[in-house]
Amino acid sequence: MAIANDRQRNMPTMRDRKFGEALAYREAVLLTNPSDPKLKGEVDDKYQYSCENIDNTVHGWIDVDSDSPVGFWMITPSNEFRNGGPIKQDLTSHVGPITLSMFVSTHYAGKEVTMEFKDGETYKKVFGPIFVYLNSASTKNQALSLWSDAVLQKSKEVRKWPYDFPKSKDFFPSNKRGTVMGRLYVHERYNNIFKGASKAYIGLALPGDAGSWQKESKGYQFWTRANGAGSFTIKNIVPGVYNLYAWVPGFIGDYKYNATIIIKPGKILWVKAQI
């Protein structure tokens, strides 16, 4: 199973879990007599393989025991429809073999991120599309190259986003989406200087208080990282009403831009903001 360049391993089987020792909660099992002796004494738990939404772009399995290995991959080109923002953690793949595509969950957050609806409330949101990718290698010693190939395919799918094949009027193609460009500054009050918010996380989510995007599940979210000078571009934004939120590594607190952002199809909006 592979989740990232540095998170790949041979996995136990469902049988290994069945005959292992159940621990404090059902997801955690001590492997007491696994089919692969090297795994004896380890604990298997699907939550060990979680990652943040921002990194949850490609994961899956390789049949490394086959003479002609096959890979199965879940590729998510955009996180715009996931809940909780870029650093919310969620499940990926785990023993089964099982591969998940998580859109909305309360994992690592609790009931605060539950989607709630009032009586008679109408609601509409497009989840996906996601891309299921299968690849193969001609020889057993090429098995691990299937991960590298899946990563390359993920990059291709990201460049294609938003896809042009969905026919639903509720899925917005690129020419009906908007763009926000701008620059974020940090005001160092003791020195009374302004400098670019280097590597800031900057995003759009439904209107709310500073930091409210972390509990937001019903709307879309669009995030990017500023460059070293604090400049940023957020592309392919679904039309609607948003607030602009940010936080800056090395500085305490969450930020919300004081004006509402209205995204219109095909329009580019420039924002200059300071923390």
The β-bridge partners of 224 are: 202
For 244-274, b where at least 16 C-beta lie within 10 A, e where not — what string?
bbbbbeeeeebbbbeeebebeeeeebebebe
Q: How much is the pTM? A: 0.93
11 shares a domain with 124: yes
256 shares a domain with 130: no
Which of 160, 185, 211 is the last residue before a domain boundary? 160
Query: Where do the DSSP E strands lie in 5-115?
Result: 7-8, 21-22, 29-30, 43-44, 51-52, 58-62, 70-75, 89-90, 93-94, 98-99
Cis peptide bond upstream of 12, omega within 30: no
Q: Are 49 and 34 in contact (CB under 8 A)?
A: no
201 shares a domain with 144: no
260 part of a folded domain: yes
């302004």: which residue's tokens?
194
216 part of a folded domain: yes
169 part of a folded domain: no
Question: How far out from the chain centre does Cα 218 lie?
Answer: 16
Q: Tally the domains of the chain.
A: 2
List the one residue out of 194, 200, 187, 183 whose CA is nearest residue 254: 200
58 part of a folded domain: yes
Q: How far is CA 103 from CA 23, 88, 218, in A?
A: 28, 11, 11
86 part of a folded domain: yes
Pairing of strands 29-30, 43-44: antiparallel
pLDDT value at position 190? 83
Sequence-ordered list of residues with C-beta below 8 angstroms from that of 172, at least 6 positions apart, any chain: 162, 238, 239, 265
Which of 108, 128, 160 is the last residue before a domain boundary? 160
Residues 160 and 126: their CA atoms lie apart, in Å, by 17
Residues 202 and 222: their CA atoms lie apart, in Å, by 8
145 shares a domain with 186: no
Angle in degrees, CA 239, 245, 246, rounded to 5: 135
49 shares a domain with 7: yes
SS3 245: strand
113 shares a domain with 20: yes
34 part of a folded domain: yes
23 part of a folded domain: yes
148 shares a domain with 62: yes
pLDDT value at position 274? 78
Other CB atoms within 10 A of residue 105 CB = 18
pLDDT value at position 269? 92
pLDDT value at position 231? 97
**CATH code for position 192:** 2.60.40.1120
Residues 225 and 203: their CA atoms lie apart, in Å, by 9
Q: Are 40 and 96 in contact (CB under 8 A)?
A: no
113 shares a domain with 203: no
135 shares a domain with 67: yes
Structural domain of residue 48, as residue ranges? Answer: 2-160
199 shares a domain with 92: no
Sequence-ordered list of residues with C-beta below 8 angstroms from that of 167, at least 6 positions apart, any chain: none
147 shares a domain with 253: no
165 part of a folded domain: no
Which of 131, 160, 189 is the last residue before a domain boundary? 160
Give mean pLDDT in consecutive 10-residue pieces for the chain, a chain of 275 residues. Answer: 97 98 96 97 98 98 96 98 98 98 96 93 96 97 97 99 96 97 91 92 98 97 98 98 96 94 95 83
Q: How far is CA 93 from CA 2, 3, 4, 21, 158, in A?
A: 8, 8, 12, 21, 20
139 shares a domain with 42: yes
